[in-house]
Every structure is written in structure tokens, then in C-alpha cells.
Structure 1
Amino acid sequence: MSTNEYLSKLDFDQLVYARDSAQRLIDKKLQEKKIPVWRVTDGFVVYGNFADDDYLLAAKSLVEVAADLDARRMREKLSIEKEMIRESEYSDYVKPQQGKGEE
């Protein structure tokens, strides 16, 4: 069930409560510390996410991805980008197998 389908089944008071609850969660997220993550991407596909301390692993990944890409134009767009991620979402980006100890 989609979010809109779920919300359409709520009565007025439930919708107001859901809105207020969502706003509290949004406000809490906005206050969170942000942590840098290095992302290997071509602007469309993200090939890997790396912890801030693992920039060299991100660079190694970029070289490996570039070697695998057939289309030259995709290589031209390949890059490492720094994105600031909210602390509560960090583990969704940087998995334990990525990062420390993979050198």
C-alpha cells in the first residue's frame, strides 16, 4: 500500500495527528549532525559509497568502474562526489563491508 493510499483511509483527526507527527520527525532530522560520504557515480548510477576516511578506496573503486564501463561517454561523467548524509541515515549509505580493512 502506498503512502497516499494509507493516508486516504484516515479520518480528519488521524490525518492531523499524522501530519503533526511527521513534522516532529522532520524537525528532528533537520537538527541531526551530517557526515560526509564519498560517492562514486556517473550522475545517474551510484557505484559505491565510502566513509570520509576511505577516499582512497573510493578512488580505487572509480578506477575499477571506469575499466568496466564500455561506453566512453559514461567514463567522461564518472566522478567521486562528496555528499553530506544525516547521521541516522549513514548506515544506509556506508555498509560495514565498505570502508576499514578493505585496502
Structure 2
Amino acid sequence: MEKKHLPIIDAPSSVEKGKPFLVKVKVGGIDGVEHPNMLGHWINWVELYAGEIPIAKVNFAPVVSNGYEVTFKISLEESTILKAREYCNLHGVWEGDEITGGAKKITVK
């Protein structure tokens, strides 16, 4: 179940203070196992946090497609750990960590 629910962050490890950069969050897809996106079973939202502070959120409606991936453009003033969370309408909230790729330490220079 983790392979299709865990959010995974793709972002640089080091960024310049105040300079915008891209953060991609993909839900599932581990070992090719995608989360379904259909009526009755879909990802409702994806959130991005800087530490414990929510900084971005995308809401989804159920539609037929293959996988979920969002890109956020953000800037940081200090080093932090970015965390991603997602909500599946059937299986609840999922949050990864640095080991699974759902959290990433970002150093601000």
C-alpha cells in the first residue's frame, strides 16, 4: 500500500536565500505502482510543509488519469526540512520521511 500512497519530494538539497526554486511532489509510483485516480478512489490533496508550517496545497477532484505529480515554486529564508503529505479518500493521510523521500532537508545559503 505504501508504494502507491507515499509522497516523494524532488528538490535541490541547497538553495539561495530568497531565490525561487521548484519542488516536485509525486504520490506513489514506487516500483511502478501508481495510485488510482477514479470515481470512488483518488488523492484529494497534496500539501507541502517547511518544518511544521504549511506553505502550499493542491486539491484534486476524481478524474481518470495515471498518477499524481505537482510542482510548487517556493523560496526559503532559512534551512529547513520540507515535508509532503497527501490524503487518499479511502486510506487517509500519508506522510513520508527522509528515508522514504517524503521529506527533504534543504540548506539555504
TM-score, normalised relative to structure 1:
0.31
More strand, by proportion = 2
Structure with more of its chain in helix, by fraction: 1
Q: Which has the larger radius of gyration?
A: 1
